[in-house]
Amino acid sequence: MKSLWLDRVIDSVADRGRELLNLRSNGRSTTNMRRLCLALLSEKGEASGTALAREVIINYKYMHSDERVAFFQMLDREFGPDKQAIFTAADQFKASEDVDDYLALSKAIEPARQRLFRRINTAPNGIDAIVGMRADLLHMLEAQPHLKAVDADLRHLLASWFNRGFLQLQRIDWHTSAAILEKLINYESVHEIQSWGDLQRRLAADRRCFAFFHPALPEEPLIFMEAALVTGLADTIAPLLDVDQTVIEPKRADSVIFYSINNCLAGLKGISFGNFLIKQVATELAREFPGLKLFSTLSPMPMFSRALRDPEVFSEQRLSGVLKNDAQSLCKEADEEDIGKALLKLLRDPVAHKKVMQQPLKKLGLAYLTQAKRGQKLYDPVAYFHLSNGARLERINAFANVSPRGLQESAGLMVNYRYIPEEFESNHEAFVHRQEIPLSRKLLKDFRLLKEAWR
């Protein structure tokens, strides 16, 4: 209610400013965007500034894609930092080391477009519009790499505006507004929600769904997580997604399985909320159910199949080393002499060769999660996220997801990352600073052998 009242006030201010500036728009505005942006930066009055900010948003909304590219190119070209002012301020501060000269240098470094975006944010729904602008910009970067400076400025501002201190954790259940529930269906990207009945089961008594919201976007989840209250460590996804699965009494559960986490707004890519969400949800659930002993994910391995087919990741020598003790049975099953050819042949339908493929897939999965890299980071983005967040690699599960997507992306493999509160900090430090991957005892022996084989 408070937010709606404030929105009406801002709308009223913008309308009054529009009258003062004699702005008129019918459908798509023909007002020059560059002139609008310059006017917004120079405007001192609150009402006039808010009106100009809204006019910028309206103009942008009706732009075609090529016009939007031109808009961002203008921001890059004409609204960047003043290089000469920076050099002058830097020389002055170097000579004086005076606090006032430091402040002058800080002001000179800030590009005009950052001030522009802050002023756009004063318009009704300004932050929503800016998030949408960045989503558009991210799509342009591959073809327009010079715009990365504009993206860096937007990311800097959004990281401040969506600081953890502003985010509000809310539980989502069947009584949540239909508008938000519909967005969950649309935003779910890990395990597609098939129907409203499917969603209702995911929000039942033995399930939990939590999301972060921002006060400026009260009906827009930024990120949400789905969890199941179960007994023991889940090793397959099907029972967690089965709409006909019997609902258990939550107090009987001893484990929480986080099985889906989804970022919702493309314009907030690269601004991390997930690490805060997992730990806060774990704290909330531990408070609600003191009997919970285990907090774990059941996570996908979305890049595994791609890595297996990449000779720069899984070279012939590495495949032979990792599968040294399984080569004979795999080649016999596939009727091939070469282990690489045998593996690719069996991967066409791994379920049909389940018995012979189960252990080799686990070994390949462990090698992939711990050894395969792109640059300095782990090849698998999900592994990097959870391990840098303080989790440990607990177990690799063969044929845990035999859906068409699961088989295509990961040959059915899924992995448990376990969150142990007293190990968060030490695991994080080991992974981030020493590149050590925390492993369960069951995986440690295999890991040592695979590490040598990988070399």
Any idea which residues carry the catalytic annotation?
Answer: 299, 386
Distances (CA, A) of 157 to 43, 116, 180: 21, 11, 26
Residue 111's φ and ψ, nearest 5 degrees, are: -70, 155
* 3 state DSSP class of 17: helix
* First CA to last CA distance, the chain: 61
Nearest Cα neighbor of 133 from 151, 146, 119, 145 is 151
**Residues 256, 294: contact at Cβ < 8 Å?**
yes
Q: Partners of 381 in the beta sheet?
A: none
C-alpha span between 45 and 14 (Å, rounded): 11
Radius of gyration of the chain (CA): 26
Distances (CA, A) of 272 to 144, 167, 319: 24, 12, 35
* Token representation of residue 234: 């889940």
SS (H, E, C) 329-393: HHHHHHCCCCHHHHHHHHCCCHHHHHHHHHHHHHHHHHHHHHHCEECCEECCHHHHHHHHCCCEE
Total number of residues shown for the chain: 455
C-alpha span between 190 and 401 (Å, rounded): 12
C-alpha span between 237 and 105 (Å, rounded): 55
C-alpha span between 103 and 93 (Å, rounded): 9
Q: Which amino acid is at 97?
A: E
